[in-house]
Structure 1
């Protein structure tokens, strides 16, 4: 993850996300640098607009956060309905039980 964080830091600072810049950033943070991972990260992010990805991710997480709120409303209604159904069922059980006593 620190490689991605370094790339995001470089992007935020307006710097080019290159292998050399990633190496310097990671070294400055005291991270043991793996050159293969640095090169792979730089190559993977070469054609990626990091700002656009961050924006899309924020929009997706905002809409995902809104969905459970709607489910919570439904969940709040369900216990009341279940309670009413249980009460009706228990009244029916009592009626059936008494009827069975008198045959």
Structure 2
């Protein structure tokens, strides 16, 4: 989750979400950054409109436990 949080933090700050930025955020947070996981995240986010994804996730119904 920390990798996604790093990408979201960069996006919210108006910074480019790239390998260097994600690694910098993780390192600043004291997380040992895994280069392959960072590359996979950046590849998965290629072409994704983060604002649109956030708004769709916020509008998704939440299941309530019985």
Task: Answer whether TM exceeds 0.5 for this pair.
Answer: yes
Deviation per residue, 1:39-89 (Å, 9 max, x gap): 1111111211111101011111xxx24x86xxxxxxxxxxxxxxxxxxxxx
Structure 2 gap ranges (5+): none
How many residue pairs get aligned? The number is: 64
Query: Where does residue 31 of structure 1 map in the other structure?
Result: 31
Query: Where does residue 42 of structure 2 map in the other structure?
Result: 42
> By how many angstroms is 1:33 displaced?
0.5
Structure with the bigger percentage of helix: 1
The whole-number CA distance in structure 2 between the counterparts of 1:46 and 1:10 is 15
- Deviation above 2 Å: which 4+ runs of structure 1? none
Structure possessing the higher radius of gyration over alpha carbons: 1
Structure 1 gap ranges (5+): 69-103
1:1-103 equivalence runs, <5 A: 1-60=1-60, 64-65=61-62
Q: TM-score, normalised by structure 2?
A: 0.88
The whole-number CA distance in structure 1 between the counterparts of 2:16 and 2:43 is 12
